[in-house]
Amino acid sequence: DGGITQSPKYLFRKEGQNVTLSCEQNLNHDAMYWYRQDPGQGLRLIYYSQIVNDFQKGDIAEGYSVSREKKESFPLTVTSAQKNPTAFYLCASTPQGTHTEAFFGQGTRLTVV
Amino acid sequence: GNSVTQMEGPVTLSEEAFLTINCTYTATGYPSLFWYVQYPGEGLQLLLKATKADDKGSNKGFEATYRKETTSFHLEKGSVQVSDSAVYFCALSDNTGGFKTIFGAGTRLFVKA
């Protein structure tokens, strides 16, 4: 079945460490996105990519980095520069064009210990 | 820029009550409108969508009508169930600046037996 797979589901990080969240899709979608969700709040866009080897900053890109070397993969690195990384991270993808819905992974819950 | 505003929650209803969650939007052009649902600890999934004015999206007893004159897309259900307890997000597909999806802040619904 086609879909988006995020891993791991739960991740614990010590302060000062970088961690990478995985996002893989087999939907053949061109665009991929990373969102951050804090308890009781909506979604905030971190980074998005519309095509391989290209990506743009979203609203809260500071302290995060991404790469898009393959169409199906869009990993997110949470760096030590991100001061408050504990959150729920959601990856999504869409085909190009208007009127398209976003498909989401199951999310990764990151906790700084 | 484009934006989505939805009613603040939480909304608490008894089983079989009527549900309305208000959503209004600001957009240039002709966006598509969506309602997504998020169950605890999971990613978002599409509930329904409408791609042009006066379209009605419907699914699982939920419905919403794309009202261009009032820039609204209110979610309704005639008789809610305990299993409908979740967070509901209104969203629009922004076809300017790269086909990003813009989400509202989300409305948490609690349904009591």
Chain-chain contact of B43 with A106 (C-beta, under 8 angstroms): yes
Q: How confident is the model at residue A113 (pLDDT cuts 50, 70, 90)?
A: confident
Across the strands, what pairs with A49? A32
- Is residue A40 pLDDT above 90, yes or no? no
Chain-chain contact of B41 with A107 (C-beta, under 8 angstroms): yes
Beta carbons within 10 angstroms of residue A109's beta carbon: 15
| Digit-coded pLDDT (tens) for B57-82 | 999 999 999 999 999 999 999 999 99
- Is residue B96 pLDDT above 70, yes or no? no
Chain B closest-CA separation from residue A44 CA (Å): 8
Q: Which residues contact A18 (CB under 8 A, 6 or more apart)?
A: A77, A78, A79, A80
Q: How confident is the model at residue A91 (pLDDT cuts 50, 70, 90)?
A: very high
- Interval B17-39 mean pLDDT: 93
| Percent of chain B predicted with pLDDT > 70 | 95
Nearest neighbour of B44 by CB, restricted to A40, A45, A104: A104
Q: Which amino acid is at B108?
A: R
Strands B75-77 and B23-26, bridge-based pairing: unpaired
- Is residue B98 pLDDT above 60, yes or no? no
Nearest chain A alpha carbon to B43? A106
- Is residue B3 pLDDT above 60, yes or no? yes
- Is residue B93 pLDDT above 90, yes or no? no
Please tell me the predicted confidence (pLDDT) of residue A97. 65
Q: Which residues contact B38 (CB under 8 A, 6 or more apart)?
A: B44, B45, B86, B87, B88, B89, B106
For chain A, the farthest-separated pair of C-alpha atoms sits apart, in whole angstroms, at: 41
| Digit-coded pLDDT (tens) for A50-74 | 899 999 999 999 999 999 999 999 9
Please tell me the predicted confidence (pLDDT) of residue A15. 87
Residues of B in contact with A103 (CB under 8 A): 46
Nearest chain A alpha carbon to B90? A42
Among A67-71, A77-81, B29-33, B46-50, the least confident range: B29-33
